[in-house]
Amino acid sequence: MYVLITIPFLAFSQKNSEFTFLGPKESKDIISFVTNQIKSEDTLKPIASFYVFKISGNGDLSDVENLDKWNLDSNQKLDSTIISKIYLSKSFWKGSSDMSDYRWVVLPIFLGNPPKTTVSSGASLFFSLRDQIAAIVQKFNQQMDKVIWIHPRYTVLGIEVDI
């Protein structure tokens, strides 16, 4: 499962260096910026959500979408917090010298406490990831060169771990 998730990120994450996140000092990357103030009690079960958004050549940010349709009902507050933080990141994105250029950013957000995962929630997590990856492939099928895959991090009780 790890290989399935990380190969696209490793293959495409460095390709689009012109579109970069230059966040504040306390947030070394976009994932740190977005998850900075999320408390562990906000995530009762493990969550793996892919958020996509568009960065225009002039640095405008638009079209933020959570592709995780499995967990939206139980995490509406968390989802709106993450989407708000993504929009707040707008001023930290460096666009392109070509103002008509754009990139889609795929931002994986992994939160929760994996040891507390039950068989049922583990299956739900797997099916959610499967559907989100299928949605990414369908949405960007003909424009994969316009996609920036952010390297995933897992946040457990406020501690970030590279995966």
| pLDDT (average), residues 129-150 | 88
Reported confidence tier of residue 10, pLDDT bands at 50, 70, 90: very low
% of the chain at pLDDT higher than 90? 17
Encode pLDDT of 108-139 as tens digits: 988 776 656 667 767 777 888 888 899 898 88
What's the pLDDT at 105?
93
Task: Say if CB 45 and CB 109 are below 8 A apart.
Answer: no
Q: Is 139 exposed, middle or buried (0-12, 13-18, 19+ CB in 10 A)?
A: middle
Cα separation of 8 and 152, whole Å? 11
Q: Is the pLDDT of residue 74 over 60?
A: yes
Q: Is the pLDDT of residue 37 over 70?
A: yes
What's the pLDDT at 104?
93
Q: Is the pLDDT of residue 9 over 60?
A: no
Taking the domains of the chain in order of start, what are their residue ranges? Answer: 2-162
Encode pLDDT of 44-53 as tens digits: 567 788 999 9
What's the pLDDT at 139?
87
Closest CA to 19 of 61, 64, 59, 65: 59
